[in-house]
Amino acid sequence: MLGSLFRVQDDYLHLGSHSIHYAWVIVVLATIMWTISSSFRFATAVLLDHLQDPVDGFGWGYAWIAVGYSIQWIISAFASPIMGWLGDRYGLRRLLVLGAALFVLGMVLTGYMTELWQFYLYFGFLLGIAMTVFQVPLVSSVTTWFRTNLGAAVGGMQAIQSLGTILLLPIVALLFSISGLSWTFWLPGIIGGALLFVIIPFYFDEPAKARMRPYGAAPEEPVVPVQKNAEAKVRNQVFFAQARRTGAFWNLIGIHCWACMGHNIFIVFLLPWAIHQDISRGSAVAIFTVMQVFSMLARFFVPIMADRMGAKSMMVLCFSLQVFPCLLLLWSQEPWSFFVFAALFGIGMGGEVPLFPIINRQYFGSAPIGAVYGWEMFGNGWGMALGPIFGGLMMDYVGFEAAVLLSMGFSAVAVISAVLLPKTNKVLTPNWEEFLPESLRPSGVATPSPAPSSSP
């Protein structure tokens, strides 16, 4: 009976009389795993005042608290290229099991913390590794499931992950008010970890692993696995060597760093800053929620627009929305200005994030881009790490306005760098397979012509 209601056949999941391509099931599963593992780090912004409070909390300074968040991103920066390579080389499922175990361990231990070094080790280090597992290789694997509508798939993932943060904000605040700090970490850690372990067996990191074809592939197309053997290693190395020769490869790493330095200052400190301006805690949480809501909407719609208009133009627009709305906060600290800022800045912040997988496909076609995306996330990790540290130092020793100016400066560099990117209407490495050993070249791919001699 159950088998007739729920079955997978011919690339589709059949639920009674309804059918859906399994690629969209993959998007749902990946989104749930990513949301569980990453949304909590942003939702903990509502706990910042408690951690900083010298009477009822721990009395840690903003800059010292920011270091805990930054450790997560530093771990992400160093581990992202490794995770991207491991995902390309060996597949994903074992990595996901490791990530789920580290997520549960990190959340449970963070609930026991009483010292700053414990915050750094449990929240920063352990959860940082877990979150990296559920970020780079997971997003890269989703791209292998789609020949068309990749923007909608990535945008949906990004939007729902942002929705997770929105939903967790009141949950974290409620848990903390009812049960205190420990259960605020224990309950999401245990329930979320259990859900991760349930989902992982149903996740396939490429269509061929499930004997399926990507979404948009012709029905008669043969099922061909993405190679994970020694030949795949050679292909990855040859493509990566060609990708590194493009200026866009290096510029995208820098862009991700500068933009994330700019917006993570506000992700971490917008809520306490609003409270510092005599805005009520409830209104401050509402302001932060508005930023996340508009971020969620942008994460869905911007990649769809990037599929049609090119990711470069959308990057320039999004980074600009991380710069100019900041002028509102320098001009007025009234509640309305915080709400308007949160909406505009949220669009820029959310729209930027999902553009990198899109622009990678536009620049590099169907090449194995896991390592390329991993290096971009290296820039992302350092940007998310350094932004709060510098912003926290400004807030502790100079003032809130200095942190705003710093964020504007970082994001302005991202705008200029994005303008300098090449157009996305042609692949930057169309002939990279020519550099493969002859035995690995697809039929019809020629040997590259030798460079002209400089001898007379």
For 315-346, how does the pLDDT look when each residue is reduced to its tens digit (9 = 90+)?
999 999 999 999 998 888 788 999 999 999 99
The 10 Å Cβ neighbour count of residue 37 is: 29
| 9 domain-assigned | no
Q: Is residue 176 part of a domain?
A: yes
Within a domain: residue 70? yes
Per-residue pLDDT, 249: 94
What percent of the chain has a predicted confidence (pLDDT) above 90? 27
Q: What is the DSSP string of 248-310?
A: HHHHHHHHHHHHHHHHHHHHHHHHHHHHHTT--HHHHHHHHHHHHHHHHHHHHHHHHHHHHH-
Q: Is residue 20 part of a domain?
A: no
Q: What is the dihedral of CA 179, 184, 190, 191, to 10 degrees?
A: 90
In a domain, 363, yes or no: yes
For residue 89, is pLDDT > 70? no
Rounded to an integer, the average pLDDT of 105-110 is 94
Within a domain: residue 8? no
Residue 343 lies in a domain: yes
* Structural domain count, the chain: 1
| CATH number of the domain encompassing residue 291 | 1.20.1250.20
User: For residue 265, what pLDDT is reported?
Assistant: 92
Nearest in space to 323 (alpha carbons), one of 344, 300, 302, 295: 344
Between 47 and 192, residue with greater pLDDT: 192
Q: Give the pLDDT score at 345.
A: 96
Q: Per-residue pLDDT for 274 more than 60?
A: yes
Q: How confident is the model at residue 110 (pLDDT cuts 50, 70, 90)?
A: very high
The answer to whether residue 93 sits within a structural domain is yes
β partners of residue 20: 13
**Residue 411, domain extent:** 26-210+226-436
pLDDT of residue 412: 97
pLDDT at 3: 44
What confidence score (pLDDT) does residue 116 get? 93
Q: How high does pLDDT run on average in the chain?
A: 83
pLDDT class for 451, splitting at 50, 70, 90? very low
